[in-house]
Structure 1
Amino acid sequence: MSDLKLVIFDVDGTLVDSQAAIVGAMHAAFEAVNLPAPERAVLLSIVGLSLDQAMSRLAPALDPAGHARMVEAYKDAYHSHRVATGAASMPLYPGALEVLQELTAIDEVLLGVATGKSRRGLDAMIEVHGLERYFVTRQVADDHPSKPHPSMILTAMADTGVDRDATVMVGDTEFDMEMAAAAGVTGLGVSWGYHPPHLLTAAHTVLDRFDQLPARLRTIWKEPA
C-alpha cells in the first residue's frame, strides 16, 4: 500500500478571494442577455459550479443559447479584469502560501486542485502567484462534469495513485463537500469562502484559519502531532 497522501484544493473562495472579479463578470453576463443581475449573495452561491450549470441556475428561464451567451460574456469580462488588475483580481487568502509551502515540504504529501475554473483561468491564477511547483494534479471544468460530480477527485487520485483513505478535499462550498462525499474521501470545509459554514453539512470539519489545516490533516491521517 502506498504511503502517499493527497490534498486537493478548491480555488475560488478557498485559495484565492476572487469574488470581486466573479461578481463583475456575472454582471457582464446578465447584461449580455438584457437581464438584471441577482444580488451579490445569490451570485456567490453558485461559485464552484461549472459556468454552464451556474448560468442555468441563475437564469432558469433562458434557453441554452442564452446560457451560452452568458458564459462567453462572463469569460471575456473575467479575463479582461484579470489582465487589467493581475494578482489584485484574486489575492491569496492569509496563510495560504505558507501552508502550501509547509505541505509541499513533506515528501509523502502531494497537492492538487479541483476547480470550476477553466484551464486558462487556473493557469493564470497559478502563474500570477508563482504556484507552478505546488500542484501535481490540476482538474478543471473543461475536462469534467460540474461539481458535485466526483470526476475531478477520482481523476486526481488516479493521476497520483493515492487511495481514498489518504485523500482530502479542501473547499469552501457545499458543492466541494458533496463532491468529496461522492468520491468517498474526507472533505474539509473552510469558513472564509463564499458559502456559509452551516451549508457545509457534508464536511468532516470546518476550518476557520488556513494555519489549522496541517494539524487537522495529521489528525485525519492519524499521524503524531
Structure 2
Amino acid sequence: MTDLRLVIFDVDGTLVDSQADILAAMGGAFAAVNRPAPDRSAILGIVGLSLPQAMVALAPDLEADRRAVMVEAYKDAYFDLRAKAGVAESSPLYPGVRDVLERLHAHPETLLGVATGKSRRGLDKLIEGHALEHLFVTRHCADDHPSKPHPAMVQAALADTGLDPHRAVMVGDTSFDMEMGAAAGVVPVGVAWGYHPAERLNAAHTVIETIEALPPLLDTIWEDA
C-alpha cells in the first residue's frame, strides 16, 4: 500500500486572484459581438468552465459562430492584459499560497497537481510567471479535456501518478471543482476566498477559510483514509 497522496488544485480563484482580467476580458468578448457584458457576479459565476461552455452559459441565445468569436476575443484580450501588466500583477497569488505549496511540496509523500479551465498556454505562462514549475507533477487544462465538472482532468491526474481516488483531494473555489472531484471519487475541499460563495459548494467535504488550514486538514483526511 502506497503512502503517496495527491493534492490537485484549481487555479483561478484558488491559487491566484485573476478576477480583474477575467472581467475585463469578458467585457472584450461581449464587445466583439456588440453586446453589453453581464454583471460581475454572473461572470465570476462561470469561472472554472471551459471558455466555450462559459459563453453558452452567459449568452445562451447567441449563435454558435458568434460565441466562437467571443471565445477568441476573450483569449486575445486576456493575453493582452497579462502582457501589459505581467503575471505577478495580472494574476497575483493569494496571500499564503506560495508558502503552503512549498510546505506541501517539501513533504516527500505529497504530490501536487493542477486541474484548471485555463488553456495550456495560459496555464504554462502563469506557472512560469510565478516560478512554480518545480511544484506540480501533473497539470491538466481545458485544451485536453471536457469542461468541469466532468471528472476527466482529475482522472488523468490520478492516472499520471498511479494513485487511487481515496489518496487524492481536489481543492477549488467553485461548485464545478467540487462536483468534478466528487464525480472522480476524490475528496473535494472548497475554499472560501474564491469566486463562488461557500453556499454553492454543496459537494465539498469541507470548506476552508484560509490556505493555512489546508495542511492540517489533509493530515486529518488521510488519517481516516
Aligned to 1:193: 194
Please report the RMSD computed on the Cα atoms of aligned residues, expressed in angstroms: 0.7
Secondary structure at 2:62 match in 1: coil
Aligned to 1:18: 18
- Unmatched runs of 5 consecutive residues or more in structure 2: none
- Unmatched runs of 5 consecutive residues or more in structure 1: none
Secondary structure at 1:206 match in 2: strand
Secondary structure at 1:136 match in 2: strand
CA–CA distance in 2 between the matches of 1:82 and 1:36? Answer: 23
Write out per-residue CA displacement over residues 136-164 of structure 1, whole angstroms, 9 at most, x where no aligned residue: 00000000000000000000000001111
TM-score (norm 2): 0.98
Which amino acid in structure 2 is aligned with residue 24 of structure 1? Answer: A
Aligned to 1:158: 159
Q: Give the paired residue count.
A: 223
Give matches, 1:29-48, under 5 Å. 29-48=29-48
Aligned to 2:98: 97
Which amino acid in structure 2 is aligned with residue 106 of structure 1? Answer: H
Give matches, 1:1-225, under 5 Å. 1-86=1-86, 87-222=88-223
Write out per-residue CA displacement over residues 26-51 of structure 1, whole angstroms, 9 at most, x where no aligned residue: 00000001111110110000000000
Deviation at 1:177, TM superposition (A): 0.1
Secondary structure at 1:222 match in 2: helix
TM-score (norm 1): 0.98
Deviation at 1:3, TM superposition (A): 1.7
Write out per-residue CA displacement over residues 182-219 of structure 1, whole angstroms, 9 at most, x where no aligned residue: 00110000000000000000000000000000000000
Deviation at 1:4, TM superposition (A): 1.0
Identity among equivalent pairs (%): 64
Which amino acid in structure 2 is aligned with residue 190 of structure 1? Answer: V
Write out per-residue CA displacement over residues 164-192 of structure 1, whole angstroms, 9 at most, x where no aligned residue: 11100000000000001100110000000
CA–CA distance in 2 between the matches of 1:63 and 1:139? Answer: 29
Deviation at 1:63, TM superposition (A): 1.1
The runs of at least 4 aligned residues of structure 1 exceeding 6 Å deviation read none
